[in-house]
């Protein structure tokens, strides 16, 4: 992350620009809390996906089917309005002799989600990181998210869900494998 970050003083100035009194009791600690929150919400810039995807050779030598993790929480902020978007991710892959700890897939989603994003790029970044660092035969990623920039402003359509996907490796040409992944990725 850049050395130039928003300070408590910056958040105080924002409150003043909104017509608020940053010294009133309910807002006195807000600038510090907001600075801390944004540091957390953008901590993905400080993470290296390669570090997260440590692999194991043991256990995958003969495994030749999809491994799918569903319902991975996604919490991010859109880069256009800095409004939250949230939902769930599904990641599936077919190992090529090595596997990754399942919790690492959740950490990978978190790494990229904790950056200013658009859902389409987030989906592709997760899939590309899997292909690059795990070198599987196939990768599939599906994200289902709700966007506060659509729900709370603009069109104001609550509950709409945006679905994006990325399928790499053998999932692209192999219709049977693609169909299996999408069936496994489908919500119950």
Residues involved in catalysis: 78-81, 119, 147, 149
The C-alpha atoms of residue 5 and residue 31 are separated, in whole angstroms, by 13
Dihedral in degrees, nearest 10, Cα atoms 120, 123, 125, 127: -140
Cα–Cα distance list, 126 to 8, 19, 37, 133, 150 (Å): 32, 41, 23, 11, 24
Instruction: State residue 64 phi and psi, 5-degree precision.
Output: -130, 35
* Bridge partners for 77 per DSSP: 84, 116
The C-alpha atoms of residue 77 and residue 28 are separated, in whole angstroms, by 25
């Amino acid at each position: 992350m850049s050395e130039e970050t928003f300070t408590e003083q910056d958040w105080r100035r924002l409150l003043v620009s909104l017509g608020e009194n940053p010294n009133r009791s309910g807002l006195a600690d807000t600038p510090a809390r907001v600075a801390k929150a944004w540091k957390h919400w953008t901590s993905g810039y400080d993470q290296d996906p390669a570090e997260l995807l440590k692999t194991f050779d043991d256990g995958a030598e003969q495994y030749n089917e999809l491994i799918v993790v569903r319902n991975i929480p996604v919490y991010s902020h859109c880069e256009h309005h800095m409004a939250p978007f949230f939902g769930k991710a599904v990641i599936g892959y077919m190992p090529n002799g090595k596997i990754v700890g399942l919790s690492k897939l959740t950490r990978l989603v978190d790494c990229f989600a904790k950056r200013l994003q658009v859902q389409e790029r987030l989906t592709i970044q997760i899939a590309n990181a899997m292909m690059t660092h795990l070198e599987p035969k196939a990768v599939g990623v599906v994200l289902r998210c709700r966007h506060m920039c659509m729900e709370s402003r603009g069109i104001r359509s609550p509950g709409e869900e945006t679905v994006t996907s990325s399928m790499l490796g053998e999932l692209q040409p192999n219709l049977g494998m693609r169909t299996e992944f999408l069936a496994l990725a489908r919500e119950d």
